[in-house]
Every structure is written in structure tokens, then in C-alpha cells.
Structure 1
Amino acid sequence: MAGSQSVDIITKVLENQMIQTAKALEEQLDAEMTKLDTMDEDELDRLKERRLEALKKAQQQKQDWLSKGHGEYREIPSEKDFFQEAKESKNVVCHFYKDSTFRCKILDKHLAILAKKHLETKFIKLNVEKAPFLTERLHIKVIPTLALVKDGKTKDYVVGFNDLGNTDEFTTEVLEWRLGCSEIINYSGNLMEPPTAGQKQGSKFTKVEKKTIRGRGYDSDSDDDD
């Protein structure tokens, strides 16, 4: 009997919460409608103009990104091209890879997906064997490595899969979260915790602080396939 009463109480509490939420949404909608109703014709015209202008700017920005190679994951032929690509785009993710390293192919799959989703960021790849000067300058010793470039300067790195759960089976969402932590993409999820949906149990994540450039020495002892 007591159990039945507890269920009834919980049900009533949930119903009240739903009613309160619905009321709040209704009040918010009413306020917006009232605001629109009290606007004169000139104010409505100005509102429409502002919204139309915002849409035009968004479309222009999209076209500008596409013209600079955003929206697709592509390979650049040489290290000389890296500097030009980084110069013309605010946000760049560059995958330093080797054909012989199978984990690079795992990253390729995820980066191709994210390139289409995040037009605000340019996604490129560069074969380290064609970029000896650049890999030395950036202290890249582990393959794969992602260099995260903002405003023409390399701000952060994703080295191997340590920040991705230390597993080959990390999800695209986990990589997206990691890039979001460095603010190289516009990430709408929770930066405090990595997404767990579809993630392999036992995955271990390196703590990543938002807006913090981790002071790696990049003195890893290997850039081999392992």
C-alpha cells in the first residue's frame, strides 16, 4: 500500500513539473506574440530586414568557406601548401600521417565526416614524408598527430589516440568533443565530459581543459605504427 502511495506521489510531482514547464513555454510564447503585436509596421520591416541580412551573411560566409576548401577532407601536396592553407582560414585541422600507419586510416574516416559537418573549420592531411621541415618545426614525433591551427598559429595537438579513449574504436563524437575542447570547431555539446554513446567500455581519457594548451614536450620515443 505504501509503495502504491509513493508511486502516486512521484506521478503527481512529475505531472506538476510538466504543467509548470508547459506554462513557462506558453508564457514565453505569449510574450513573443505580444511583442510582435505591439510592433508597428516600420519596426516589423526593420526586424525582417535584420533577419534577412543575417541570413545573407550566413550564406556568404558558407560560400567563402567552401571557396577555401572547407566542407571536404582533402590532402595537400606539400608543406609549402600548409602555410597557405593555414593563412587563409581561421580554423584548420591538419592530419600528419603515413601511408604505412593503419591508425591514420582510422582518423581519415572520422575526419571526413567532421569536415562535412563543421564547415567553419578546414580539414586537411599531409604526408610527413613530404614535410620534413614542418614536422621538425612542429616537433611531430608520433603518427598520427593532428595539428590544430587557429589564426595561422598552431595552438594544440591531438597526439595518437590518448585523448580519444586510448582505443582504436573511438567514435566520431569523441573526436568531435576533443576538437571542441580546443575550440577549433563550434561544439554544441558538453565539454566537461566526453560523449559515451557507442564508446567502448573501459576507454581511458586524458583530462583536457577547455582553453588550455597542454604543454606537451613532444618527446615521444616513437613515430612507428604502434
Structure 2
Amino acid sequence: MEQIIHQVAQNMEKQLDNEIGRLDALDNSDLEAIRQQRIAEMKQRAKQKQEWLAIGHGEYTEIDNEKEFFTVCNKSDNVVCHFYRNDTPRCRIVDMHLKLLAKKHIETRFVKLDAERAPFLTGRLKIHVIPTIGLVKTNKTKDFIVGFTDLGGRDDFSTEMLEWRIARADVIEYSGDLLVPPTEAKKQRALQIQSKKTIRGPADSDSDLDFSD
């Protein structure tokens, strides 16, 4: 095990040395070109954000009918649509989470549509369970989140859990691990911390010893 750890450390050190060497080899013109490229990328991103905001991104809004749904999908590459009914309490839970995610993920349009106003669309998409969240990318339905089954089967799921599930359809930008749900990731981190504490325990416990006679 020590050999493996040592080998991994050596490989990481070698990669770091190579990267430092590459950066040291750059002359002023190279650095300026990189700087200008970065500035251009930032400007393009800022422009894109303004365009997104102009067509309704950044807010969780209700659309009135099927025609508006298709208009939204034509304007935005990434769309999250909550098909709801007013008499379904779980829809209000979804609303709460999507309001937060809409503000966080400007790159995606978040909307809701009363399923009763869209009989053709819900029939075409085979939506039978409410709430259902449709995940659309470049005008194609990539996935559906049906009820709360994929969210742990419970009403008190976290916003992070819904974010992770949406990200698996590639309709939002996500930096986490798509293979591990946030709830499992937290458990793994907690176990790692507990394991470290257990390993350090005997050494750290000296202060609790009573040497008095």
C-alpha cells in the first residue's frame, strides 16, 4: 500500500512539474494571447447571460398553454418544465425547489404548465403522474422526473437532490459527481471524517487522561 501511495504521489508531482515547466516556457506574447482569449470568453459569457435573462431565464415562471411551451423550447436550448395541477400538494414542493434552481442556473429556462391546460402535450409525452418534470434539450425531451421516486421517494428531499437529478439529463451546468447522489456523497464524506477521527483518536485522547493520584 505504501508503494502505491508513493507511486501516486510521484506521478502527481511529475504532472505538476510538467505543468510548471509548460507555463515557464511561455513568453510574454503567449501569456498575452491567453489573457486576451480569457477576456473574450468572459465577455461572450456575459453577453450570453444577458440574452438568457432577456428571454426569461433566471426566474421560474408559469406558461399558459401548449403553444407557449413550444415557443419556450424554440428559444432556449435547455428547458425544465414542471407539469402540475393545483390540487396536488406535491406540486408546491416542486415549485419551492425550482424557484431556487432557476436563479442558480441562468443557462436553463425553468417553467411550469398546468397539465389540464395541455391535454395534447401531456398525451403526446405520456404524462400520467403529477408532478412530472420534463427535461428538454435542443427541442428534444431527454428525460422525465416522475413523482418523487428518483428523489428518494420522500417529500423532504433537498434542492441539491433535485439539482443532481436534473443534471443527469445534461440540461444544467453541474460540477458535482453525476454518478453519486448528494445524499450518498454526504454519507461518504461523513464516514471519511469519522474514519480519520478514529485513526487519530488514540493520539488525540491523551489530554483526557487523568494522572492525578
Distance in 1, matches of 2:126 and 2:23, equals: 58
- Name the SS for the 2:111 alignment partner: strand
- TM norm structure 1: 0.71
Distance in 1, matches of 2:149 and 2:162, equals: 11
- Name the SS for the 1:120 alignment partner: coil
Tell me the equivalent position of 2:73: 86
Distance in 1, matches of 2:38 and 2:136, equals: 32
Structure with greater helix share of residues: 2
Distance in 2, matches of 1:108 and 1:142, equals: 16
- Name the SS for the 1:191 alignment partner: coil
Instruction: Kindly indicate whether the alpha-carbon contact (under 8 Å) linking 1:115 and 1:123 is maintained by their aligned counterparts in 2.
Output: yes
Instruction: Kindly indicate whether the alpha-carbon contact (under 8 Å) linking 1:171 and 1:198 is maintained by their aligned counterparts in 2.
Output: no
Tell me the equivalent position of 1:60: 47
Shift of 1:47: 1.6
Q: How many residues align?
A: 183
Tell me the equivalent position of 1:155: 142
1:93-136 CA distance string (max 9 Å, x none): 10001111110000000011111111121110001122122111
The yes-or-no answer on 1:182 pairing with 2:200 is no
Shift of 1:191: 1.8
| Gapped regions of structure 2 (runs ≥ 5) | 187-213
Distance in 2, matches of 1:37 and 1:141, equals: 60
Pairwise CA RMSD of aligned residues? 2.6
- The 5-angstrom pairing of residues 12-161 of structure 1 reads 28=16, 35-161=22-148
| Gapped regions of structure 1 (runs ≥ 5) | 1-12, 200-226
- TM norm structure 2: 0.75
Q: Which moved more, 1:163-172 or 1:188-197?
A: 188-197
**Among the aligned pairs, what percent are the same residue?**
51
Amino acid at match of 2:145: V
Distance in 2, matches of 1:197 and 1:169, equals: 16
Shift of 1:39: 3.1
Distance in 2, matches of 1:45 and 1:122, equals: 36
